[in-house]
Amino acid sequence: MKRNTAHTTRMRAGITHDLNREFLRAYPELAHRINSARTPSQPPEKPELWQRLLRNVLLIAALLILVWLAPRSTIGAPAPDVQAGTLFLQGAKTQRALLLNTDVAIRAAGIQAQVTVRQSFVNTSDLYREGLYTFPLPERTAVNALTVRVGERVINGEIRLREQARTTYEAAKRDGKQASLLEQQRPNLFTLAVANIAPGELVRVEIRYLQRLRVSNGEYELRFPLTLTPRFNPPVDEPRTVADMQPVATPMVATAMSTQRAQISARIDAGAPLQQLTSEFHPIDSNALPDDAYQLTLRDGEIPTDRDFVLRWIPLAGTLPESALFREVRDDGTYALLMVTPPAADAHAPLARETIFVLDVSGSMAGASLVQALAALNSALQNLRDTDYFNIITFSSSTRALFPAAVPAHPQSIAHAQQLIGQLQADGGTVMAPALAMALAGNPPLQTIRQIVFITDGAVSNERELLQLIENDLGAARLFMVGIGSAPNGHFMRESARAGRGTFTYIGDLAQVRAKMSTLLHKLQRPVMSNVRITWPPDSGIEALPARLPDLYAGEPLMVSARADMLTGSVLISGDLAGLPWSRTLSLDEHRDADGIATLWARDKIHHLDYAERTLDEPSRRDIIVNLALAHRLVTRHTSFVAVEEFPSRPQNAGFASAAIANTMPRGNTMLAFPAGATDARGHVAVGLLLLLIGVYLRRAHWLRHLAS
């Protein structure tokens, strides 16, 4: 066999030699060029094995370093010519239809505000288009109107069951009619679809909603979100509800590339002279009007949509009562909103506390958010007393605790904690449930109360699962949420604070950290009003919310919305303040009439059914929510607004395409790309390149072996 193989090899070599000779004889010019290129030098020495390995390792390391150090805002971002507010169109060539602007008009009176949001779309392409836009609104927003304006034509929206509204919209889109659909994806996240925008046409969509103002320490706050932090979807093996699985993904674009702008104006009917009126992040001009009203405009005319617009005002001391009743009478009953602020309690010697700090270090916290969070944590550590216990839990794709259990707040343990803080970096997914469970597990040391300070941007999509975890495992602990970043998920954090019987503090800028944390820690050290009770008149047929009254901290008012068949007589508010009984009686005949109280009550009732009601099954809850939403014209997870023009405007043979409109990445956020799983984007890219290089190396080795054979 060996002789035959050798003979065959010699025959192949001879045949190859003869073919080469005949080929070169047929092409003498080519033979001359080949012979001229030959040199008598020795063949190059083959590199040593270690040299080849070192060269490949250096190549791989260089590529990985380039990936790791690449600007975070460019990887995973749109192409350089893609701008925020652009409809990305599919077809033979890329075209764009711009979202011209967002115009917001606010009118605040008492403790509520009516807000009108106008979004203008223009189609600059030569085909009919559909725009899809996901945008945030304040938490517990009562969206109750939708109007579409196309030239001189006005199309009023109708509230319908979500499935019916979607079917109506899709049929109108197919038939070539102008149409718009407004749906709720989360209580503070909505989707707007606008169909059949004609070439060169301007379409204005107007949304109106009511919201309740936040009041704390005599200060009123109104917040309008202009963008959002992308929500993280936990691993699919975690339990999820249908609502949690609704899509929340939206295209994002870096702030530097964004062309989206917003105009905002506001009228404040304060009912009293103001001692302070400020815009937290955007310069404003204000003009005083008669009857203690104020007109506000943006000093720059327009602002980028990369952070929340926050307005705050404080009436002159003593000009507003500590309790107030707002009322609206309708055919279906009397609606009321009650606000009572208990007096400040005398400070007593506080109990020792076990404070568990939970810090979000996931990828969405990268950049300014993590800097603010670490500063907040440092500020809190410096305010611990010798009698306190503490621990620090950090989480992203995994959860870690600094100590196995809470330790005394001695200088050595605090120094160790500060050393850890200096090494933290933001990376990975926002897997929050294990961190919550760890913070709530076990019992605090004897003679201490457990207070959990949770610092995060709230960029999660499984809100229901997390709120259920808090309500089930809270026990005697109290949960205090600290929102971080330019556009945090305020809905989730307020609801977490409600379920955790604590408070919510928002920090949107590094300069605010010390003051905001000092205020929070001051609340934690002050006596709390507990066992709060409200006694309404008998036979009033009252339905008041919240059903479970919260603890009240210093400066935090009690707010209760109610519906009654009739509302006369007086109401008694009572509780334990600093361990002593406290009560106040308020006459129901002393009220201020206000529009929108019924709408806000319906919104509160729907929210209660969605998040707090445990005695009804899902079909029963859905029926009640639908009836309330249709009666009060509210967008919910079961109802939507749809507006459809009567006659078609798009010819059936005209081209048509649709795409999503990008939101602006929150200011200061340097997240590489929002992760969809437990590994961050840089890790995915790095591992992918490494595997690619290994594959190329193995392929090359296989090819060389093949040639050799």
- Evaluate the CA torsion angle 149, 153, 156, 157 in order and state its sign: negative
What are the tens digits of pLDDT across the range 328-375? 999 888 999 998 887 776 655 566 789 999 999 998 888 888 888 898
Mean pLDDT of 112-138: 87
Topology (CATH level 3) of domain 86-232+250-317+639-652+659-664: Immunoglobulin-like (2.60.40)
pLDDT at 115: 96
A 10 A CB-CB count for 221 gives 14
| Percentage of residues of the chain with pLDDT beyond 70 | 73
What is the average pLDDT across 496-503? 88
3-state SS of 60-76 is HHHHHHHHHHCCCCCCC
- Say what the pLDDT of residue 598 is: 95
Alpha helices in 513-637 (DSSP H): 513-525, 597-611, 618-632
Quote the pLDDT of residue 413: 93
Q: Is the pLDDT at 603 greater than 60, yes or no?
A: yes
Residues 29-34: what's their mean pLDDT?
Answer: 44
Neighbouring C-beta atoms of residue 487, cutoff 10 Å: 28
Is 50 exceeded by the pLDDT of residue 679? no
- pLDDT of 247: 42
Distance CA 367, CA 147 (A): 39
Rounded to an integer, what distance in angstroms lies between the CA atom of residue 212 and that of residue 37?
86
Q: How far is CA 126 from CA 94, 97, 592, 693, in A?
A: 11, 10, 54, 45
Q: Of all residues in the chain, what percent carry a pLDDT higher than 90?
A: 32
* Nearest CA-CA partner of 483 in 360, 591, 660, 647: 360
User: What pLDDT shows up at residue 253?
Assistant: 63
Res. 468: pLDDT tops 60: yes
Instruction: For the domain made up of 323-344+529-632, give the CATH fold.
Output: Immunoglobulin-like (2.60.40)
**Is the Cα dihedral 428, 429, 434, 439 positive or negative?**
positive
| CA-wise closest residue to 596 among 323, 207, 336 | 336
Confidence of residue 99 (pLDDT cuts 50, 70, 90): low
Q: Which long-range contacts (CB under 8 A, 24 or more apart) does 380-386 make?
A: 380/355, 380/453, 380/517, 380/521, 381/357, 381/409, 381/414, 381/417, 381/418, 382/414, 383/517, 383/518, 383/521, 384/355, 384/409, 384/414, 385/352, 385/409, 386/410
Q: How confident is residue 205, by pLDDT bands cut at 50, 70 and 90?
A: very high
Does residue 108 surpass a pLDDT of 90?
yes
Residues in the chain: 709
pLDDT for res 624: 95
Token digits for 540?
């009033």
Mean pLDDT of the chain: 78
- Higher per-residue pLDDT: 46 or 420: 420
Q: What is the mean pLDDT of residues 183-203?
A: 89
Q: Name, of 233-237, 487-491, 642-646, 670-674, the range with top average pLDDT.
A: 642-646
The residue that leads in pLDDT, 158 or 495, is: 158
DSSP letters for 438-497? HHHSS-PPTTEEEEEEEEE---BS-HHHHHHHHHHH-TT-EEEEEEESSS--HHHHHHHH
Instruction: Pick the closest to residue 477 from 506, 446, 441 (CA basis).
Output: 441
Cα distances (angstroms) measured from residue 285 to each of 265, 271, 508: 10, 20, 21
In the predicted model, is pLDDT for residue 132 greater than 90?
Answer: no
Q: State the pLDDT at residue 508.
A: 80
Residue 669's pLDDT is: 67
Q: Is the pLDDT of residue 180 over 50?
A: yes
Predicted confidence (pLDDT) at residue 78 exceeds the cutoff of 70: no
Predicted pLDDT at 690: 58
Please give the Cα distance from 38 to 32 (Å, whole number): 10
Check pLDDT > 60 for residue 158.
yes
The pLDDT score that the predictor gives to residue 213 is 92
Query: For residue 38, what pLDDT is reported?
Result: 45
State the pLDDT at residue 577: 83
Task: Answer whether 0.85 is exceeded by the pTM.
Answer: no
pLDDT digits (tens, 9 = 90+) for 527-540: 678 888 999 998 88
Which of 659, 639, 658 has the alpha carbon at shortest distance from 183? 639
Query: Mean pLDDT over residues 547-553, rounded?
Result: 82
pLDDT, position 348: 56
Give the angle subtended at the CA of 434 by the CAs of 429 and 439, to the nearest 5°.
Answer: 125
Confidence tier at 668 by pLDDT (50, 70, 90): low
Superfamily for the 352-525 domain: von Willebrand factor, type A domain (3.40.50.410)
The token pair that represents 357 in the structure block: 């700090």
Question: In angstroms, rounded to a whole number, what is the distance separating the alpha carbons of residues 571 and 587?
Answer: 6
Q: Where are the beta strands (DSSP E) in 332-422?
A: 333-340, 352-360, 389-395, 399-401, 407-408
User: Could you tell me the two tokens for 375?
Assistant: 């500063």
**Longest C-alpha distance within the chain, in Å?**
119
Measured between its terminal Cα atoms, the distance across the chain in Å is 18
pLDDT score of 692: 53
Q: List, in order, residues 6 or more apart from 605 with CB less than 8 Å away.
A: 543, 545, 563, 628
Q: Which carries the bigger pLDDT value, residue 621 or residue 446?
A: 621
- The arithmetic mean of pLDDT across residues 189-202, rounded, is 89
- pLDDT for the residue 121: 83
> How much is the pLDDT for 171?
95
From 17-31, 391-405, 488-502, the region with the lowest mean pLDDT: 17-31
Cα separations (Å) of 209 from 128, 138, 356, 575, 635? 30, 10, 38, 34, 10
Confidence band for 393, pLDDT divided at 50, 70 and 90: very high
pLDDT at residue 49, rounded to an integer = 58
**Residues 141/209, Cβ–Cβ less than 8 Å:** yes
Q: What is the DSSP letter of 661?
A: B
Give the integer Cα–Cα distance in Å for 132 and 143. 18
Distance separating alpha carbons of residues 505 and 522, to the nearest angstrom = 12
